[in-house]
Amino acid sequence: MSQKIDVAYVAELARLSLTPEENNTFQQQLETIVRYVEKIGELNLDGVEPTMHGQPVVNVFREDAVVPSVGRECFLANAPERNGDEIRLPKIVEDA
Protein backbone atom coordinates (compact mmCIF):
# COMPACT_ATOMS: atom_id res chain seq x y z
CA MET A 1 0.00 0.00 0.00
CA SER A 2 2.84 2.41 0.76
CA GLN A 3 3.65 4.82 -1.95
CA LYS A 4 5.08 8.27 -2.18
CA ILE A 5 2.62 10.84 -0.93
CA ASP A 6 2.19 13.79 -3.29
CA VAL A 7 2.33 16.37 -0.52
CA ALA A 8 2.22 19.27 -2.97
CA TYR A 9 -1.01 17.98 -4.50
CA VAL A 10 -2.60 17.35 -1.12
CA ALA A 11 -1.51 20.76 0.18
CA GLU A 12 -3.12 22.38 -2.85
CA LEU A 13 -6.37 20.51 -2.20
CA ALA A 14 -6.21 21.80 1.37
CA ARG A 15 -5.33 25.34 0.27
CA LEU A 16 -2.13 25.41 2.31
CA SER A 17 0.86 27.01 0.76
CA LEU A 18 3.96 25.23 2.05
CA THR A 19 7.59 26.22 1.93
CA PRO A 20 9.95 23.70 0.29
CA GLU A 21 11.28 22.84 3.76
CA GLU A 22 7.78 22.18 5.08
CA ASN A 23 7.04 20.11 2.02
CA ASN A 24 10.07 17.90 2.64
CA THR A 25 9.54 17.59 6.38
CA PHE A 26 5.90 16.72 5.98
CA GLN A 27 6.73 14.26 3.22
CA GLN A 28 8.93 12.23 5.55
CA GLN A 29 6.74 12.55 8.62
CA LEU A 30 3.58 11.71 6.78
CA GLU A 31 5.08 8.66 5.17
CA THR A 32 6.12 7.40 8.60
CA ILE A 33 2.67 8.03 10.02
CA VAL A 34 0.86 6.54 7.04
CA ARG A 35 3.02 3.42 7.19
CA TYR A 36 1.97 3.10 10.83
CA VAL A 37 -1.75 3.57 10.26
CA GLU A 38 -1.73 1.06 7.44
CA LYS A 39 -1.63 -1.68 10.07
CA ILE A 40 -5.42 -1.61 10.03
CA GLY A 41 -5.10 -3.35 6.69
CA GLU A 42 -4.06 -6.52 8.57
CA LEU A 43 -7.56 -7.13 9.84
CA ASN A 44 -10.26 -9.18 8.19
CA LEU A 45 -13.16 -6.79 7.87
CA ASP A 46 -15.58 -8.94 5.89
CA GLY A 47 -19.11 -8.28 6.99
CA VAL A 48 -18.16 -5.47 9.37
CA GLU A 49 -20.36 -2.40 9.14
CA PRO A 50 -18.59 0.95 9.37
CA THR A 51 -19.27 3.30 12.29
CA MET A 52 -20.15 6.62 10.70
CA HIS A 53 -21.40 8.50 13.76
CA GLY A 54 -20.60 8.87 17.44
CA GLN A 55 -23.75 7.05 18.59
CA PRO A 56 -26.22 4.92 16.62
CA VAL A 57 -29.27 7.19 16.38
CA VAL A 58 -31.43 8.21 13.43
CA ASN A 59 -34.01 10.80 12.43
CA VAL A 60 -33.01 13.96 14.27
CA PHE A 61 -34.87 16.92 12.78
CA ARG A 62 -35.86 20.47 13.41
CA GLU A 63 -39.22 21.98 12.53
CA ASP A 64 -39.45 24.43 9.66
CA ALA A 65 -40.01 27.49 11.87
CA VAL A 66 -38.19 30.81 11.46
CA VAL A 67 -35.75 31.82 14.20
CA PRO A 68 -35.23 35.56 13.81
CA SER A 69 -31.65 36.61 13.15
CA VAL A 70 -29.84 38.35 15.99
CA GLY A 71 -28.74 40.96 13.48
CA ARG A 72 -25.79 41.08 11.18
CA GLU A 73 -23.45 43.56 12.88
CA CYS A 74 -21.82 41.01 15.16
CA PHE A 75 -21.02 38.88 12.09
CA LEU A 76 -19.99 41.67 9.76
CA ALA A 77 -17.74 43.07 12.49
CA ASN A 78 -15.66 39.91 12.21
CA ALA A 79 -15.21 40.24 8.44
CA PRO A 80 -11.61 41.08 7.53
CA GLU A 81 -12.91 43.41 4.82
CA ARG A 82 -16.37 44.79 4.24
CA ASN A 83 -18.18 46.44 1.35
CA GLY A 84 -21.14 47.94 3.13
CA ASP A 85 -23.20 44.97 4.22
CA GLU A 86 -21.35 42.48 2.06
CA ILE A 87 -18.10 40.72 2.81
CA ARG A 88 -15.49 42.09 0.48
CA LEU A 89 -13.10 39.91 -1.54
CA PRO A 90 -10.57 40.43 -4.32
CA LYS A 91 -12.18 40.36 -7.72
CA ILE A 92 -13.20 36.83 -8.63
CA VAL A 93 -13.05 35.63 -12.20
CA GLU A 94 -16.01 33.30 -12.46
CA ASP A 95 -14.58 29.98 -11.44
CA ALA A 96 -16.93 27.16 -10.62
Rounded to an integer, what distance in angstroms lies between the CA atom of residue 54 and that of residue 51? 8
Least separation, in Å, of the C-beta of 2 and another protein?
Answer: 11
Least separation, in Å, of the C-beta of 4 and another protein?
Answer: 12
Number of shown-chain residues binding another protein (CB under 8 A) = 72
* 4 contacts another protein (rule: CB under 8 A): no
Burial 3-31 (b: 16+ CB within 10 A, else e): eeeebeeeeeeeeeebeeeeeeebbeeee
By CB under 8 A, what part of segment 10-39 binds another protein? 10-18, 22, 26, 29-30, 32-34, 36-39
Site map 57..96 versus another protein, x via CB under 8 A: xxxxxxxxxxxxxx-x-xxxxxxxx-xxxxxxxxxx-xxx
Least separation, in Å, of the C-beta of 31 and another protein?
Answer: 10
List CB contacts of 76: < 8 A, sequence separation 6 or more.
82, 85, 87
